[in-house]
Amino acid sequence: MLKEELEQKLQRGLDALGRADFPAAIESLNEVVLQDSSSAAAWRALGVCYLEIRQPNVALEALERSLQADPEDADTHYILGSACGTLGQLERAGACYRRALEINPAHAKAEEFLIRTEALLESRDHYRRGLKLLYAAEPALDDLNQALRELVQSTAIFEESPARESLKDCAEKLLARRQERAVEVRITGETAAWARACERGYQCTRFGNWVGAQEAYQEALDFRAFDAFVHHALGFSFVFLDQPGEAVRAWLRTLELDAAYDFSRFGRVRRP
């Protein structure tokens, strides 16, 4: 009789969970685990309920109890990974998703969230390295260049990375060490308009006119799209105009064109 009653309570809890009536589900499911602490299904459903009502710490405990009862359930490992991710425990979340995939290689959600988690971990690593270089007591120019690369990569991997907030600070420190870079190009009728736009952009960067710089360098790209120094200056324009996403895209293009680009150098077109 007790077994039948527990099954009925479990089903009521699962039905309530299906209706998103989390208080009713928790009440029924708690009655089950109080009488049968080895009910993996009840503990797992409780974990889901607590995740839904934003109590990930309690969810984590319930899911761990579920795995004690049934350690080979791929779904529970996946849900536990979600709880760990919500708590910022990214390494453990990744381990949970990998375990779910070991048990069930076709677990599409575990695979999807493992990819996301690994990307977040990579983004975080770039961010931490960038901050360490940027806020060193007396960062060398090479350190600032690398710091910007790390912050750009962090944001490129995860658009909402906190690295976005440090891009302008890094750009300001590089700008304080600004150097001129001569770009020698034979000026012909075809390149004259490009050269004029580049020179206008260069002069705008000198005086901090970032709106003018952006307009000028965008015009230059209409004539030639493969100049690293143009994309570099555009990145500075965007970051100082509070468009970090566009800045990241411009700096990524700079690095595609010249992986060793010195971000303290601003190009100025000179006739050979």
Query: Domains along the chain?
Result: 2-106 (1.25.40.10), 181-272 (1.25.40.10)
Q: Which residue is it, tokens 């009536």?
A: 21
**183, β-bridge pairs:** 269
Average pLDDT of adjacent 10-residue blocks, the chain of 272 residues: 81 94 95 92 96 96 96 97 95 97 97 97 97 94 97 96 96 95 80 92 96 97 94 98 97 97 92 63
The answer to whether 143 and 136 are in contact (CB under 8 A) is: yes
Distance of CA 2 to the CA centre of its chain: 50
- Name residue 43's amino acid: W
> For 250-261, what is each residue's pLDDT tens digit?
999 999 999 999
Residues in the chain: 272
Instruction: Note the pLDDT of residue 271.
Output: 67
* pLDDT for 1: 43
Structure tokens at 94: 């990744």
pLDDT tens for each residue of 29-48: 999 999 999 999 999 999 99
The CA distances from residue 89 to 65, 170, 243, in Å, are 18, 28, 30
Cβ(42)–Cβ(13) under 8 Å? yes
b/e map 52-68, b = 16+ CB within 10 Å: eeebbebbbbbbebbbe
Q: What span, in angstroms and rounded, lies between the C-alpha atoms of 143 and 211? A: 28
Q: pLDDT tens for residues 192-234?
A: 999 999 999 999 999 999 999 999 999 999 999 999 999 999 9
Predicted local confidence at residue 145, as pLDDT: 97
Six token digits for residue 1: 């009789």
